[in-house]
Amino acid sequence: MKSKYLTLLGCAFLFACAAPRTTVQTAGQNGTIMVKAVPAYATVEVDGQAMGKAREFDGTSSVLKVTPGKHTVTLKADGYEDFSTQVYISDSQETVEINLRKR
């Protein structure tokens, strides 16, 4: 009787160890955009909205979190030509890397 009890207890322990301990929530997923630009002080706009300086989103301290879909990323800096590109974001990370041209 004691061995059946130990066997049952061992099976319960193994089953508990095999159960998943993490969950993945897919609702409200966001993707990210990493910006690597020269000059690093260029202003980053996403869909016409100013987000900050390029150096703030270079991946070392932060990245831009955006909703899934197509977005227009624009970089602007005094003395340089504006740069725009379109990126498609799912739940991935896209990198915009550019050396802006001087005017």
- Residue 10 inside a domain? The answer is no
The predicted-structure confidence for 14-73, as pLDDT tens digits, reads as follows: 555 554 444 334 456 689 999 999 999 999 999 999 999 999 999 988 999 999 999 999
The residue with greater pLDDT, 7 or 72, is 72
Residue 38 sits in a domain whose CATH number is 2.60.40.1120
Q: What is the structure's pLDDT at 1?
A: 61
User: Does the global pTM surpass 0.85?
Assistant: no
Structural domain of residue 86, as residue ranges? 31-98
Task: Confirm whether 79 is domain-assigned.
Answer: yes
DSSP collapsed to 3 states, 51-97: EEEHHHHCCCCCCEEECCEEEEEEEECCCECCEEEEEEECCCEEEEE
Q: Number of folded domains in the chain?
A: 1
pLDDT band at 8 (very low <50, low <70, confident <90, very high): low
Q: Are 57 and 42 in contact (CB under 8 A)?
A: no
In a domain, 18, yes or no: no
pLDDT attached to residue 86: 96
Whether residue 53 lies inside any domain: the answer is yes
Tokens of 70: 């197509």
Q: Is residue 78 part of a domain?
A: yes
Query: Is residue 40 domain-resident?
Result: yes
